[in-house]
A and B are shown apart, each in its own frame.
Chain A
Amino acid sequence: MSDRHGTIRFCVNGENRAVQVPPMRRLLDVLREDLHLTGTKEGCGEGECGSCSVRMNGELVNSCLVPVLQTEGADIQTVEGLAISGALHPLQHAFLDCGGAQCGICTPGMLMAATQLLSINPRPNMAEIREGLAGNLCRCTGFKRIFDSVIAAAAVSQDHSTEQAAHAR
C-alpha cells in the first residue's frame, strides 16, 4: 500500500471536494475522517453488512471496499445528502413513521440501499424489496418495518428524486 498522498477530486452530496490522501485509503475513512461525514457507518469492514453503503455514480457500493483512488471524478451520495434543506426525504419520513429504524446504526446504509432500489425500480414488489436490501443487515427490526417503510416511500420517492436532481444542479 502506498503512503504517498495524491489529490482526489470528486463530488459528494452535490458538492465538489478535493482530498489529499493515500490512494488506497478506504472511501469509508475518507468520508468519515477527512470529510467528517460520520453518517456512514462501519459494521464489518469486509462488505458483508452494508452499513457503509453509499451511492457512487448511481450504483450502490460498500464504501469499506472502495479505495479512494477509484472515486476520482465520481458522484457520491451519502445519508447526509438525502434530506433537502433540512426536510426529510420521503424515505426518511417513511422509516420514521413505520418504525424502520431502531438502533439506527444500519439505517444510513439501509436508506442508501432503499434509495438505490427506488431509483431503478420505483414500485418494487416484496420480492424485489427483499432482494434490493439483502446486502444490508439489520439486527433489530427483523426487516418487516423496513419493508413497510420502502413500500410507504415508493409512492412519493420518485417525485422527490426528480426535485432533488433539479436542486443539485
Chain B
Amino acid sequence: MSTSAKNRIGQTRIVGAPVLRKEGVDKLLGRARYVDDIQREGMWPGATVRSTIPRGFIKSIGFDRRINWTEFTVVTAADIPGKNHVQLIHADQPCLADGMVNHCDEAIVLLAHPDKHKLRDAVAAVHIEYEPLPAVFTIEESERQETIVWGSDNLLKSFLLEKGDVDSTWAHAARIVEGEYRTGAQEHLYIENNGMIAEWNDESGVTVWGSLQCPYYVHKSLLAVFDLPEDKVRVIQTETGGAFGGKEDYPSTLAAHAALLAMKSGHAIKMVYDRMEDLAATTKRHPSRVRHRTAVDQEGKLLAMDIEVDTDGGAYSTLSSTVLSRATLHSPGPYVCPNVRVRSHAWATNTVPYGAFRGFGAPQAIFAIERHMDEIAAAIGLNPIELRRRNFLHDGDTTATEQVMRDPVILDKLLDRALSESDYYAKRALFARENPHSAVKRGMGVAAFFHGSGFTGSGERYLNSLAGLDVTPAGKVRVLAANTEFGQGTNTILAQVAAEAIGLDYDDVVMAPADTNIVPNSGPTVASRTSMVVGRLIERAGRQLVAMLREHAELDEHFTSGEFFAACERYRAAQGEVVSLCRYEAPPNIFWDDQKYRGEAYPAFAWSVQVAQVAVDTVTYSAEVEDFWSVQEVGRVLNPILAGGQIEGGIAQGIGYALYEKVVWQNGHMANNQMTNYIMPTAEDVPPIHVFFEEIPFQHGAFGAKGIGELPHDGPAPAILNAIRDATGVGFHAIPLLPEDLFVQLAAREIVAEAAAL
C-alpha cells in the first residue's frame, strides 16, 4: 500500500465514528415526507387495471355502462407519445400491455378520478376479454422449449465460464459428488409500498416524485416513453421506506404510469399501491436451480467444479441478465479450483418479471455451493470446516475467472474467529451428546462466502459516474450525488466522507436532494457500490475542493470551519459557484473480457463467515435459529452503527429466505399476496445476532471502504440448512424450508427406520 493510501485510511476523525443518521431526527419525529405523505394541488389518485391471465391476446377492452366514464381519465397503450417500453437493458417490457399479456397482473389500462372509492369501483368495471395462450411457469417447462413464450427459445440470457479443463479431470478424481439445489422467489417486503406522484406541464414536461432507488433509471425510462429531451424530465426521490432492490427497476414503470395519467388528465396524479397490489405486481428474487458436479482428491482438494446455474426470469428480461451474471461469478464460492466450468441460463416464464433483490443472484449461488460443500464433506468423511479450509482462496490465488487476488484474503482468520465466537466445536460436541435423548435436535452450520463490490466487470466504466460537492451561500457543503437513502445510510456515510476529506465537522455537510435537476448521475444505488465507488468520488471531490480553495481563495494549510466557508465566499465572489465534481476512474490493472468471462470480475470482494445454531423440533417439525454469528471483512467500516445494522438486517432477511418466506403461485398469480400469509421473521423469530468486523482498508474505496449491503444476505440460508443437516443428519436441498417440508423428509426417514427395526 502506498504512503498516501496509508494516510488516507489511517487516523480519521469522522470516518469510522458512530455519528448519528443524517435524516434520523426527521424519521423519529414522524416528519420525514414519504411519497404518500405529499399532497399536490388538485391531485387525483390513479389506479391500474391488470391482466387476470398469465398469457394471451387481448381481444377487447370493455367499459361497464353503469360507470360514468366521462368523469374519469382513461389511459391505454394508445396514449403513449413515445416508445411503449420500460427502458432498461433490453426494450422487451411494455409500459402498458398492447394486444397481448405475458403475465398475470400486467398493467393494461390506467384510470384516474378525484374520488378514490369511485376509482376502485371503476377498476372492477373494466372488462378485458382474452384469447388465452399456453403459459409456462417453471424453469423445467421453459427449458423444454415446447412452448415458446419469449424470443425464439425462451432464453433470456446465458453465460459460459471456463477455467482449465473440467472434462479431463473426472477420471483422476478420488471422488465425484453431485447435487442439485433450489431456491424460491422472495419478496422484498419493504414496509413502504411502491408509490409515485407525477405532474405534466406542456412547457416544463414531466416531474415525478417517488419512492425509488435510481433517479436516473427512471429519468431514462421517462425520456423514451414521452419522447422528450433530457431537460424536460425531472425525477425527485422522496423519503423511501425500504427498497432492497425492489425499487431499482419497478419505479420506472410506475413513474411512466403516473405521468401518462397526469398528461392526459391535466392533474397531478398519485399512485400508491396497497400491499396486495404491490405483492402481486412488482418484482421478486429470481427462483433458481443450481447443479454441482465436483471432483475432489483424497485430501478433499477441489479438482474440478462443473456448475449449471438456471434461473427463472419471469415474463420480460428486465435485470435477469445481470442477476445471472452475478450468480455465475459467485457460483464457485470463495475457493481455489484449477478446473471450473459454469454454464448458466436465465429462462422466461409467464410470471411477474423477477428483478433485483439484495445479493442479486449471489444468495442463490452461495446457497448451492455452501450446501454442496457440506455434502462433499459428508461424502468423503471430512469435517466441513476442514474441507473449506483446505480449499479457501488466499492472496495470489486466482478465481474461476482467473482474477488474481492481489489484496489480502483472510478467510482463515474470519473462520477462526467465527468458530471461537460461536464456540462451535464445544457446541457440536454438546449437541451430539444431547440430541439422541431429545425431541429437539440441535446443530451448528457454517457458510463461507464472498460478494463482489460494485458493478460486474467493465460495468463501472460504462456507468462513468459523476459526483461531487458544492458549497451553499448559507455555509454548508452539499453532497451532489444521485445515490439515494432508503435506510442503508447513504446520507450519513457520504456526509462523513465529505467532512473527513475536507477537514470539516459532520454537521457542516448536508445532502443535496436526490433530484435530477440538482445532482449529477453518479449511477444507481445498487450492487454494494455506494460506499466504495461513490464514496471514493466524494472523497476525491473533497480533496479537490480544498486544493481549489488553496489555489484560488487563500485557504491556509490548517483552517477552522469559519475560515473554510470564508474562503468559499471569496472564491464565489471571484470565480462563481463553488463546485467540485469528480468522475469515476477505474483502479489500475483492471481487465475484463466480457466474451470469455475472464479477468477482474470485481474491483474488490467483501468476505464473510457465518455460523448458525439451529434447533429442529421433531414433534412439530419447526426449525428455529437460536443464535447467529457473522464475521466479515468489508474494508474500512465507515460507521459502526450503520454497518452493524446492515449486517443484522441482511441476516434477518436471509433467515426469512431460508425458513419462512414462500411465494405461493396459482396459475402465475401470487396467491399469498398479503402480509397475513406471506410470512417474514418478527421480533420474536430473529435470534441474537453477533456481528464482528475485521478491517482491511481497500485502497480504491472511500477511506478504504468496500461494499457491505448485500453480503450478509448471502450466507444465512446455507448456514442454517447446514446446521439442520448437522442436527438431523438429513441434507435439505431447497429453500424455503417450511415445517411441512421438514416433516416430509424427516418423517419418511423415521418410517424407513421403524420398518427396518421390525
Q: Which residues of B contact A92 (CB under 8 A)?
A: 28-29
- B residues within 8 Å of A by Cβ? 20-21, 23-34, 36-37, 188-193, 239-244, 274-275, 486-489, 641-642, 644-645, 648-653, 674-676, 680, 682-684, 686, 688-689
The answer to whether B191 and A43 have CB atoms under 8 Å apart is yes
Name 14 interchain pairs, CB-CB below 8 A, sorted by A: A41-B241, A43-B192, A79-B29, A96-B20, A99-B21, A104-B32, A131-B683, A136-B683, A139-B680, A142-B648, A142-B651, A142-B686, A144-B686, A146-B683
The answer to whether A142 and B649 have CB atoms under 8 Å apart is yes
Q: Which residues of A contact B30 (CB under 8 A)?
A: 37-40, 78-80, 107-108
Docked pose: A82 CA to B31 CA in angstroms: 12
The answer to whether B240 and A103 have CB atoms under 8 Å apart is yes
CB of B686, distance to nearest CB on chain A (Å): 5
Q: Which residues of B contact A142 (CB under 8 A)?
A: 645, 648-653, 686, 689
Q: Which residues of B contact A82 (CB under 8 A)?
A: 29
Other-chain residue from B20, B33, B191, B651 in contact with A106 (beta carbon distance below 8 A): B191
Within A39-74, the residues touching B (CB, 8 Å) are 39-46, 48-49, 51
Q: Which residues of A contact B689 (CB under 8 A)?
A: 142, 144
CB of A93, distance to nearest CB on chain B (Å): 8
The answer to whether A104 and B676 have CB atoms under 8 Å apart is no
CB of A29, distance to nearest CB on chain B (Å): 10
Q: Count residues of chain A with CB under 8 A from any CB of chain B.
A: 52
Other-chain residue from B275, B489, B648, B650 in contact with A45 (beta carbon distance below 8 A): B275
Q: Which residues of A contact B674 (CB under 8 A)?
A: 44, 46, 48
Docked pose: A105 CA to B274 CA in angstroms: 15
A10 CB-CB contact with B under 8 Å:
no
A29 to chain B: closest residue by CB: B116
A152 CB-CB contact with B under 8 Å:
no
Q: Which residues of A contact B682 (CB under 8 A)?
A: 134, 137
Docked pose: A82 CA to B644 CA in angstroms: 27
Q: 3 closest A-B pairs (Cβ-Cβ)?
A: A39-B30, A105-B241, A103-B487
The answer to whether A107 and B684 have CB atoms under 8 Å apart is no
Known: A41-B34, A145-B644. A138 touches B29 (CB 8 A): no
Dominant secondary structure at the B interface: loop
Docked pose: A139 CA to B681 CA in angstroms: 9
Interface-centre pick from A39, A43, A111, A136 (highest chain B CB count, 10 A)? A43
Other-chain residue from A51, A78, A83, A88 in contact with B191 (beta carbon distance below 8 A): A51
Docked pose: A51 CA to B20 CA in angstroms: 23
Q: Which residues of B contact A42 (CB under 8 A)?
A: 36
B654 to chain A: closest residue by CB: A142
A95 to chain B: closest residue by CB: B28
The answer to whether A46 and B675 have CB atoms under 8 Å apart is yes
Other-chain residue from A37, A104, A137 in contact with B680 (beta carbon distance below 8 A): A137
Other-chain residue from B241, B644, B683 in contact with A99 (beta carbon distance below 8 A): B644
CB of A34, distance to nearest CB on chain B (Å): 12
Docked pose: A110 CA to B211 CA in angstroms: 21
A140 CB-CB contact with B under 8 Å:
yes
Other-chain residue from B26, B488, B686 in contact with A143 (beta carbon distance below 8 A): B686
Q: Which residues of A contact B683 (CB under 8 A)?
A: 129-131, 133-134, 136, 138, 143, 146-147
CB of A49, distance to nearest CB on chain B (Å): 6
Q: Which residues of A contact B31 (CB under 8 A)?
A: 39, 80
CB of A28, distance to nearest CB on chain B (Å): 11
CB of A127, distance to nearest CB on chain B (Å): 9
Other-chain residue from B27, B37, B244 in contact with A101 (beta carbon distance below 8 A): B27
Q: Which residues of B contact A139 (CB under 8 A)?
A: 188-191, 242, 244, 649, 653, 680
Docked pose: A32 CA to B30 CA in angstroms: 12
The answer to whether A144 and B28 have CB atoms under 8 Å apart is no
The answer to whether B648 and A141 have CB atoms under 8 Å apart is yes
The answer to whether A97 and B27 have CB atoms under 8 Å apart is no
Other-chain residue from A46, A80, A102 in contact with B29 (beta carbon distance below 8 A): A80
The answer to whether A134 and B684 have CB atoms under 8 Å apart is yes
Known: A41-B34, A43-B275, A48-B674. A97 touches B20 (CB 8 A): yes
Docked pose: A105 CA to B188 CA in angstroms: 14
The answer to whether B241 and A104 have CB atoms under 8 Å apart is yes
Q: Which residues of A contact B680 (CB under 8 A)?
A: 137, 139
Q: Which residues of A contact B688 (CB under 8 A)?
A: 144
The answer to whether B488 and A102 have CB atoms under 8 Å apart is yes
A98 CB-CB contact with B under 8 Å:
yes
The answer to whether B274 and A45 have CB atoms under 8 Å apart is yes
The answer to whether B25 and A103 have CB atoms under 8 Å apart is no
A sample of 5 more A-B contacts (CB under 8 A), given A48-B674, A107-B27, A142-B686, is: A43-B191, A46-B676, A98-B641, A144-B689, A145-B644
Other-chain residue from B26, B242, B653, B676 in contact with A103 (beta carbon distance below 8 A): B242
Docked pose: A92 CA to B29 CA in angstroms: 8
B655 to chain A: closest residue by CB: A142
The answer to whether B686 and A41 have CB atoms under 8 Å apart is no
Docked pose: A145 CA to B644 CA in angstroms: 9
Known: A41-B34, A142-B652, A146-B683. A88 touches B29 (CB 8 A): yes
Docked pose: A67 CA to B25 CA in angstroms: 31
Q: Which residues of A contact B486 (CB under 8 A)?
A: 103
